[in-house]
Amino acid sequence: MRINGQAFRTIWQVDAGGDVAVIDQTLLPFAFEVRTLRRVEDAATAIRDMVVRGAPLIGVTTAYGVALALREHPGDDSLAAAIETLVATRPTAVNLRWAAERMRRTVAVLPPGERAARAYAEAAAIAEEDVASCAAIGRHGLGLLRQLAHGKDGERINVLTHCNAGWLACVDWGTALAPVYAAHAAGLPVHVYVDETRPRSQGAFLTAFELGAHGVPCTVITDNAGGYLMQQGEVDVCIVGSDRTTAAGDVANKIGTYLKALAARDNGVPFYAAVPFSTIDWTLDDGVHEVPIEERSAREVTHVRGRAPDGKLEEVEVVAPGTRVRNPGFDVTPARLVTGIITERGVAAASRAGLAALYSGHERH
Ligand code: MRU
């Protein structure tokens, strides 16, 4: 995707087999800076501090983190320590564990001298696969948006999304936003209502930024406005991403997603999750009770970050000092509230049978 006319991905190798570069997402949309990851610890810190975030990008960063560790020390201990460090960073996005296990499977069988080169190649392959998956999700989601457009007689199609599941959350294109970009490219009049997504404001900071940079019309709304807009008939479809989708079709995503699904059901608005293979956790059936939910720092709730009049990024306190706060980062939308899951293989029913029909035989990889 483009920023100021220049094509970017969210992560890339600076030199073949060398350092890895990422866009620092903690500074967007007010500043655009690239950070260099040189060691596995840099990759782990970037994930933990949300310099990179979004389930697919976390997975790809994990893969490059393993490669960075192996170029320094290619032995078994280094491989095990790298994976342990990376897996401990963020618990909910299953792409992290998926990418770590894939890297382990790929390199552990090789003599140490061959591991680093193979690890870089595998990380690059995971990144390319993510781009291809997101593009395919876009094509399948476009079919759904075309159907909605038929009933609207040329009027704009209003999509509501939560958090950021665009290209910034992936390597390119995005998951939930890929159908939007495909529709925009196809000339459909698409408009996006963007939940601001407190506490980290990924909607206001990242989704609005990337849609705007690409020329897709969007409107930022407070996290509490979606239900009202659905009652007023102003939302045609909700499309969200996912950090972990169970084999039964339950969708873990940024906190607040579940409330949007409830409002969508009450108002007859279709609610889709856009999910690549790497986000499906085939070991889980009951998302509400089994998906580990990240508890994040109280400071994200007690303070709000933004740009001050002097142009500097600042945090201001917004909660009475001493007040107890909770900050669960994700929630789970049960499959019964999900109209369908848009995957790179097509649109599945949100059920074990629906997902298994698309991925039959591939669940273990
Ligand atoms: O805490 P974040 O910003 O990593 O959370 C991101 C989300 O919840 C996204 O919606 C999800 O990862 C899907 S990204 C394609």
Q: Can you list the positions of beta strands (E) in 83-180?
A: 157-161
Residue type, 241: G
Q: Indicate if 79 and 14 belong to the same structural domain.
A: yes
What is the whole-number distance in angstroms between the Cα of residue 253 and the centre of ligand 1?
Answer: 6
Q: Indicate if 173 and 110 belong to the same structural domain.
A: no
Q: Indicate if 198 and 229 belong to the same structural domain.
A: yes
Query: Measured at the alpha carbon of residue 128, what is the angle toward residues 103 and 206, in degrees to the nearest 5?
Result: 100
What are the φ/ψ torsions at residue 289 (nearest 5 degrees)?
-100, -15
Q: How many domains does the chain have?
A: 2
Q: Please identify, by atom number, the ligand 1 atom nearest to the C-alpha of residue 162.
A: 10
36 forms beta bridges with 21
DSSP, res 18: S
Q: Indicate if 174 and 108 belong to the same structural domain.
A: no
Residue where a domain terminates, one of 109, 129, 149: 129
Ligand 1 in reach of 254 Cβ (< 6 A): yes
Ligand 1 in reach of 116 Cβ (< 6 A): no
Q: Indicate if 105 and 181 belong to the same structural domain.
A: no
pLDDT, tens only, 32-79: 999 999 999 999 999 999 999 999 999 999 999 999 999 999 999 999
Percent above pLDDT 70 for the chain: 99
Ligand 1 in reach of 163 Cβ (< 6 A): yes
Report whether pLDDT(7) > 70. Answer: yes
Q: Please identify, by atom number, the ligand 1 atom nearest to the C-alpha of residue 176.
A: 15
pLDDT at 363: 62
Residue where a domain terminates, one of 129, 159, 175: 129
Distances (CA, A) of 300 to 234, 259, 289, 290: 31, 20, 25, 25
Q: Indicate if 170 and 125 belong to the same structural domain.
A: no
Residue where a domain terminates, one of 75, 105, 129: 129
Ligand 1 in reach of 26 Cβ (< 6 A): no
> CATH number for the domain including 101?
1.20.120.420
Q: Indicate if 226 and 343 belong to the same structural domain.
A: yes
pLDDT, tens only, 80-103: 999 999 999 999 999 999 999 999
Q: Indicate if 15 and 113 belong to the same structural domain.
A: yes
Query: In which domain, by residue range, is 162 found?
Result: 137-364
- The pTM for the full model equals 0.97
pLDDT, tens only, 221-241: 999 999 999 999 999 999 999
pLDDT at 4: 82
Q: Indicate if 303 and 275 belong to the same structural domain.
A: yes
What is the residue with the minimal CA distance to atom 15 of ligand 1? 165
Ligand 1 in reach of 55 Cβ (< 6 A): yes
What is the residue with the minimal CA distance to atom 6 of ligand 1? 54
Q: Indicate if 49 and 163 belong to the same structural domain.
A: no
